[in-house]
Each structure stands twice: as structure tokens, then as C-alpha cells.
Amino acid sequence: MAETTAWAAAETFALGAAAADDIPVHFVPADGVDAIGSLDDVQRAWLKAQKFAGNAKRTVLIPGADGNIASVAFGIGNGQQGEPSGPSELLAGLLGSSLPAGTYRFASDLAHGDLAALAWSLGGYSFSRYLKKDKNGSRAKLRLANAGSDRIINTAEAVWLGRDLINTPASDMAPADIEAIARVLAGRHGADISVTTGDDLLTQNFPLIHAVGRASPRQPRLIDMSWGPAGAPKITLVGKGITFDTGGLDIKPASAMLLMKKDMGGAATALALAHMIMGQGLKCRLRVLIPTAENSVGGDAFRPGDVIASRLGLSVEIGNTDAEGRLVLADALALADADEPDSIFVFATLTGAARTALGPDLPAFFTNDDELARSLPPLAASIGDPLWNLPLWDGYRRHLDSDIADMNNVWESPFAGAITAALFLKRFVTRARRFAHFDLYGWRPAARPLGPKGGEPQTARAVMEQLRRELTS
């Protein structure tokens, strides 16, 4: 059974009425020390002695007359806070992981107070499942006002959940473990769930999912979860759940396998987003499809040059077994599309080409909705969950042609790999009104204010904010 510390995200907050011993935190812009009105002359002299001038990311603990911490001065600089995007209040993520144990409160109203509170919790995350000493023991807690607290806690839980799933090594994150987490979420929110496993994938017409996972003793499966009232806008999330990717018979070099536990980052993102949608009660008919498998090397592994039927009926020539993610997604997308949803959102750690183009911090997204292409990037940037729109340029569809099948799963060229992968997926979606595919890295290469090095369900918060605005307007 998979484990998660996601629900411990609530423990980064203190709820209820403010207490007299809550420690105030002053957000101080560059050269803004004089604006802190509650300091006495001794405390101001202390800040001067520490050479504190509101410079970004600098924290000074201010003592009281009894020697205990009376308040905290936290520099936010001149607004250039060093994250990929978002307001300087997001730097509050540094506080959740660095302040001594105790209960703190923001000393004044902030322009982006909810984001600062969320950042506090995201920055306080650590993955300690395999450590003898739990880093999440005694911690700094933030006093959270009742207004908006449920949404902040739910969002923090969702991100922690996604991180836990990605950070867990493949030894403890097999397809069955993803199923177990999905069942926990379904039970928590009263969602329906069904799972098609192993050879039943063939009888239920999911041949591509079966082909990718058949060489592993850990059986592949398709997880199908639904929630919300019939008649509400239909939102379908599809997440790539490759729990480990050797590359198959087109095997990866050892160095390229080191992070392949994160190849189920799309599934983690879809489940994190689903927790937000259900936990915050968005008015929609939600469906979550997770095709999950381990791409292993074995006597029964699918081969380069094989031709495999898809659920949609299109035959696919296998140009490369290391392009397996798009195969499992194709069958799931055909199932999703048959329901004619209003929106299909696909999340996948799909191509190195997207990373080459945009780097690890900036996921690529593709959509047939021009309005979404315009509105989502600035919205995502404003909350510190950035992404970048790339074109679904139809001119490259010819590069997926095959001489012996309806299509190939790759274009063997160093050019436009992210676009051709997105076009492959789009071939299996013809009925949905809106299609959006997010090609993400799913990993933070180094510690930053919003979290430590490790797994990250990129784009989940951005899509949630987009849907919240659409479905509550």
C-alpha cells in the first residue's frame, strides 16, 4: 500500500483565534525597516547591527526583553524575488522551512496573503519516508485566518500528495500503489472508481497500455475515477503513470534512468489536481484516467518495429519503445474522448525536447483553445506555477506517417519532438471541445522558496486556478 504525508500539510498551520504568544512576521521591502511601527529603539538598533535593510530572502529574529523571539523581520527586496514568477510574498516559503518551532502570524495584511500562506506550507514540505529521523517533527506553524483556510490547506495537501508520489522510488510506487492512492482519494471525496488490470486490458480493448506494461511482473492497469453531478461541465484529466521507464528494448543509458521514478509525474499531477477540484467543490463532472505501467525489459517486451492496434482503431508502428508514454495515453484519451467532455487536460513527463526548449522550471503546454493559450500563461505566472504555450502546428503531422501502419509513435529527428508528441496525442481526441496537453518535468532540480529539491506536480495549481475562475464566474 502506497504511503503519503500529504494530509500532514495541515500541520504547517495553526487554526483558530489568534493567541497572544503568536510571533508576528514583518514583510519588509528594500530599505523599509522604518515602516515597521511596532519596534522599540533597542530592536531597531538590533536590526541595524544585523545590517538588515529588507534585502530579499534575509530573515532576522528580533528578541524581546525576556530573550525570547518577539518578532521576525523578513526581507522581500524590491520585488525581484528570484522565483520563476509570482509576487514577492511567495518568498514566505523560505520561512516554513527555516524558522524555529512555534506559532507565527503575518504582522500586517498582504496584497497576496493567501499565496504567502500557501507558500509557507509548500516550503515546509520534506520527504522523510526513508529517514530514521522525521524532518517533519516539531515545526514552525502559521496562524491561518478562517477565511479561505480550507482552500489553502486543500491546495497544500494536493501539492504535498503529488510530491510524495513522485519522490517515492519505483520499489514502492508500482501501478498497484498508484491505484491504492487513487482509491484513498476516491474514498475521501465519495468518488466512483474502477480499475482494469493485466490481461483484462486486452479484453476491454486497451491494447497499447497492455503492450507497454506486459513485460513487467507488476501488472499494468487503467484507473478510472469519476465525481460530481451529471449535467455539470465535463472535465477529464488524463495522467501518464509510467512508474519506471527503462526505455524498454530501446534501453536508456544508466544515467538517463536515475530519475525515471518520476515518469509517473503526470499521474501525480492529475491526482493532485483532482484532490483540489473535489476538495474545493468545483461545479463539474470530473473524470480522472490514469494509465499506469512499468516499461520493462523482458522476453515479452514490445519491440521496435511492432505494429499494435489502439483502442481508437488506428494502428501504431513502434519506432521507439522509449516513447511509451504517448502509447498508454493514446488508449486513455480514446476512452476519454468518447464521452465528449467539455475539456480534456493531459499531464505527462513526455519529452526531453520540451526540457531542451524551456528548461526544467517551465512546462510546455499545447491547446486547440486560443483563449486558453492567451489567458493561462499570465495566470500561471501570477501564482508561481509557470508554463509556456507551444503550437499544435499541424504541418508536422506528416512526420508521424508510417509505411505499414496508420501512424508511427515517433519522428526520428532531433527537431520539434515536443510538438510531434503533442500531435500524436491529439490524433486520439476528436470530440472534446477543448484539448490541452502539459509536457512537464515534474522535478525541482534544486531547493527554491516554494519547495525542496525533488518531485513537483507542475501546472496543477495553474489549471486549478483557471478552472476555478471558469466554473465560478
**Could you give the residue numbers annotated as active site?**
252, 326
- CA dist list (Å): 88 to 57, 145, 281, 367: 10, 21, 29, 30
Cα(422)–Cα(437) distance, rounded to whole angstroms? 7
Q: If we measure between CA atoms, which residue out of 294, 248, 285 comes closest to residue 267? A: 294
One-letter amino acid for residue 154 of the chain: N
The DSSP 8-state label assigned to residue 170 in this structure reads G
Q: Is the distance from CB of 53 to CB of 33 less than 8 angstroms?
A: yes
Cα(212)–Cα(245) distance, rounded to whole angstroms? 10
Neighbours of 331 (CB within 10 A): 27
Q: If we measure between CA atoms, which residue out of 201, 428, 413, 394 comes closest to residue 320? A: 413
Q: If we measure between CA atoms, which residue out of 217, 276, 326, 280 comes closest to residue 460? A: 276
Q: Is the distance from CB of 219 to CB of 213 less than 8 angstroms?
A: yes
Bridge partners (DSSP) of residue 102 are: 140
Q: Quick one: cell of 393?
A: 502546428
Question: In terms of DSSP bridges, do strands 285-295 and 234-239 run parallel, antiparallel, or are they unpaired?
Answer: parallel
Cα(347)–Cα(267) distance, rounded to whole angstroms? 7
The DSSP 8-state label assigned to residue 227 in this structure reads E
Helices then strands, counting H and E runs in the chain, come out as 14, 20
